[in-house]
A and B are shown apart, each in its own frame.
Chain A
Amino acid sequence: DAGVTQSPTHLIKTRGQQVTLRCSPKSGHDTVSWYQQALGQGPQFIFQYYEEEERQRGNFPDRFSGHQFPNYSSELNVNALLLGDSALYLCASSPYTLGTEAFFGQGTRLTVV
């Protein structure tokens, strides 16, 4: 049983560009959450998707958007990249209610130059 998978693992972009990160949840999980982890910090909640809709959003600008597909996989899009967007982006999958299960992928390390 594959766990949470994310792609790509590393990415380098230029300021002002747009980026798309992808996540496939663990089998049996229908909810996907995205987190941003800056260097030396704990992960910060970006948003969560369930039934192809954004359920909750953290304190991130509209440049951050997402999508969930019928197979529960998800994308995170960031427009007009800033240097400060450089971080590890983590995807977490869980059942509808977080309960006792929240599993993370290996993350996508984004560097904006």
Chain B
Amino acid sequence: AQKITQTQPGMFVQEKEAVTLDCTYDTSDPSYGLFWYKQPSSGEMIFLIYQGSYDQQNATEGRYSLNFQKARKSANLVISASQLGDSAMYFCAMREPQGGSEKLVFGKGTKLTVNP
């Protein structure tokens, strides 16, 4: 069974510094996709970045980048120049094919706190 592991329940970072949020995954399927979402206290899941298993380059979206290490099955999110508004829960998820359709399987999340 596929699963996502986020080992950091909470992380703290100083404003303007970079932070890495860890995510490891387990799958035997050669074709998969990895997503990162931000969830503020309001509840909405905000899409941040996507990495496909066949993508040669690490994905980047503004201040977000994904450190994709396929052999180690890790897909860590790097946030550069942290801002106070980055304080939120962050979830790693994997696209899981199932019977002709697809669903997302989520980790338990990491709570990021950015200190001024």
Contacts and interface: CB of A to CB of B under 8 A. Distances in A.
Contact of A56 (B35, B98, B105): B98
Given A55-B101, A58-B103, A104 B108 contact: no
Contact of A98 (B33, B37, B46, B106): B33
A37 to B, nearest CB: 8
Interface size class of B (residues with CB under 8 A): 20 to 34
Contact of B44 (A33, A55, A58, A104): A104
Interface residues of A, number: 29
Given A55-B100, A56-B103, A99 B45 contact: no
A106 B42 contact: yes
Top 6 A-B residue pairs of the complex, sorted by shortest distance between their CB atoms: A42-B106, A104-B45, A98-B102, A106-B44, A55-B101, A107-B43
Interface of B: 4, 33, 35, 37, 42-47, 50, 52, 91, 93, 95, 98-109
